[in-house]
Amino acid sequence: MYTERLLRVVAVAAITSSVLSNPIPLTREPIENIPRGLPLVTDEVLLFDAPAFRTGEGNELTASIRMFTHIRQIDSSIISGALTTAIEALGIEVGNKAGNLFERTKLFFAIPRSGIEVDLNVAGCDSFNVGDTSKGGLLERNAAIGACGGALSPRTISGVAPGFFSSRPFEATLFPSHPNGFGVVSDVDDTIKVSNVLDKKQAVKSLFIDDHEAVGGMPELYSQLDGELGNPAWFYLTGSPYQLYPSLRKFIFEKYPKGPMIVQNLTLTDVQSILKFVLDDNNVRDYKIAQMEKLRSFYPQKKFLTIGDSTQADPEVYAEIARRHPDFIQCIWIRKVNEADNSDERFATAFKGVPQAKWKVFTEPSELAELDVATGKCN
Ligand SMILES: *[C@@H]1O[C@H](CO)[C@@H](O)[C@H](O)[C@H]1NC(C)=O
């Protein structure tokens, strides 16, 4: 099902073309002739929260760093007004939520900045330098950060970009985690956040306008799991593109146990990637499988509880990883979303080869409250 992805692209395309009076594809090519190296006064850095894991024999840690660099945007009430008009033309009431709309769409208009490197500090660990960002302004690198005094608590990663009058700090949270113990991987849309991905108009509204709303009972369940699994490592794995990261991150940090969110690279600057995003049904599936494999390469000895829903490919993704690496996946929970494909055949096919005792499809989070994941009681 590509409903959600299609919607996002259509909505963004509608807004984009209306704001810029310019049909997609946009040719917002990165500007090539400005210097490479440390950020300039005109650059902005979005640093993502990063997992860190032990490497080698000792306590040495490696951080998995991701960032997006772009030309600094001037907050403009003109763009804000045009966005509101474009969304209201789709028959969606913006009301007093123009702020949400602007915040959630502004990175789609950002002009990527390539060739940027940054110096980063992690409180109590070694400083390091990462570079340089790709043509699309993105970077993903592993960086050695030392032993950090042997502690595995969350820390701040920070850097600075020069400003016109004073320097502008940017920061994210580093989440180091023990090689053993439990981890939880959770999907976001329609698993922990009401997204209405199956109702087009509602979905656009949930995505761009409404304050993000937690799925009933899920914050309580996650808080309970956080205690029962002995402070597991939390990861939020979503098919959403990185442009939506800031607002989703804020929502998760307010309502759920904190952990890095893994988002997709989506560059709306070329036709190829738009088409791939929209038409390739396996896109989210393949991306999620690849990200699960990456997590396993960071934490090969951990055991994971994976939680998702029935709207997209979560059952298929988690089952595939459980077949490949039975010891890595402790339990799989799938939230049944009304009007998605909830047929017995779908789940039987998805979970073929995965022991019945490992997975459960649920409607109410209360069905899970009594289960003891730590001892392998998944259903
Ligand atoms: C995202 O883009 C960066 C920079 O080009 C790349 O290193 C990384 O592998 C990409 N990640 C995914 C999931 O495609």
pLDDT of residue 357: 97
Cβ-based burial of 254 (10 A; exposed 0-12, middle 13-18, buried ≥19) = exposed
Q: How many CB atoms lie within 10 A of CB 23?
A: 9
Cα(187) to ligand 1 centroid in Å equals 20
User: Ligand 1: which residues within 6 Å by Cβ?
Assistant: 134, 138-140, 265, 287
Q: Give me the mean pLDDT over the 199-212 stretch.
A: 84
Measured CA angle at 125 (ends 66, 118), to 5 deg:
40
Q: Could you tell me how far CA 349 lies from the centroid of its own chain?
A: 27
Confidence of residue 2 (pLDDT cuts 50, 70, 90): very low
Mean pLDDT of the chain: 87
Domains of the chain with CATH codes: 4-176 (no CATH), 182-375 (3.40.50.1000)
In angstroms, the CA 232 to CA 225 distance is 8
**Which of 48, 67, 69, 138 for mutating ligand 1's site (highest number of atoms within 8 Å of CB)?**
138
* Pick from 267, 259, 313, 257: nearest CA to 290: 313
**The pair of three-digit structure tokens given for residue 279, joined into one six-digit string:** 């038409």
Q: Which ligand 1 atom is nearest residue 66's CA?
A: 3
3-state secondary structure the chain: CCHHHHHHHHHHHHHHHHHHCCCCCCCCCCCCCCCCECCCCCEEEEECCEEEEECCCCCCEEEEEEEEEEECCCCCHHHHHHHHHHHHHCCCCCCCCHHHHHHHHHHHHCCECCCECEEEEECCCCCEEECCCCCCCEEEEEEEEECHHHCCCCEEEEEEECCCCCCEEEEEEEEECCCCCEEEEECCECCCECCCCCCHHHHHHHHHCCCCCECCCHHHHHHHHHHHCCCCEEEEEEEEEHHHHHHHHHHHHHHCCCCCEEEECCCCCCHHHHHHHHHCCCHHHHHHHHHHHHHHHHCCCCEEEEEEECCCCHHHHHHHHHHHCCCCEEEEEEECCCCCCCCHHHHHHHCCCCCHHHEEEECCHHHHCCCCHHHCCCC
Cα(269) to ligand 1 centroid in Å equals 15
Cα(90) to ligand 1 centroid in Å equals 33
Cβ-based burial of 190 (10 A; exposed 0-12, middle 13-18, buried ≥19) = buried
pLDDT of residue 1: 39
More confident of the two residues 233 and 136: 233
Cα(249) to ligand 1 centroid in Å equals 19
Q: Which ligand 1 atom is nearest residue 290's CA?
A: 13
Q: Are 61 and 147 in contact (CB under 8 A)?
A: yes
Look at 45-49, 97-101, 144-148, 202-206 and tell me which has the smallest mean pLDDT.
202-206
Statement: residue 225 has pLDDT above 90: yes
Cα(293) to ligand 1 centroid in Å equals 14
Q: 168-196: per-residue pLDDT in tens?
A: 999 999 999 999 999 999 999 999 999 88
Cα(72) to ligand 1 centroid in Å equals 22
Which residues face 306 on adjacent strands? 185, 332
**Which of 68, 140, 141, 295 for mutating ligand 1's site (highest number of atoms within 8 Å of CB)?**
140
Backbone angles phi, psi at 111, to 5 degrees: -90, 115
Cα(138) to ligand 1 centroid in Å equals 7
Phi-psi region of 56 (alpha: psi -120 to 50; beta: other; left: phi over 0): left
**Parallel/antiparallel/unpaired status of strands 233-241 and 261-264:** parallel
Atom 8, ligand 1: residue with shortest CA distance? 140
Q: Which ligand 1 atom is nearest residue 140's CA?
A: 7
Statement: residue 97 has pLDDT above 60: yes
Confidence of residue 9 (pLDDT cuts 50, 70, 90): low
Atom 11, ligand 1: residue with shortest CA distance? 265
Cα(324) to ligand 1 centroid in Å equals 23
Q: 103-134: per-residue pLDDT in tens?
A: 888 888 788 999 999 999 999 999 999 989 99
Cα(163) to ligand 1 centroid in Å equals 28
Q: Which ligand 1 atom is nearest residue 291's CA?
A: 13
Q: Which ligand 1 atom is nearest residue 141's CA?
A: 7
Q: Give me the mean pLDDT over the 18-44 stretch.
A: 63
Backbone angles phi, psi at 237, to 5 degrees: -110, 110
Statement: residue 62 has pLDDT above 70: yes
In angstroms, the CA 343 to CA 41 distance is 55
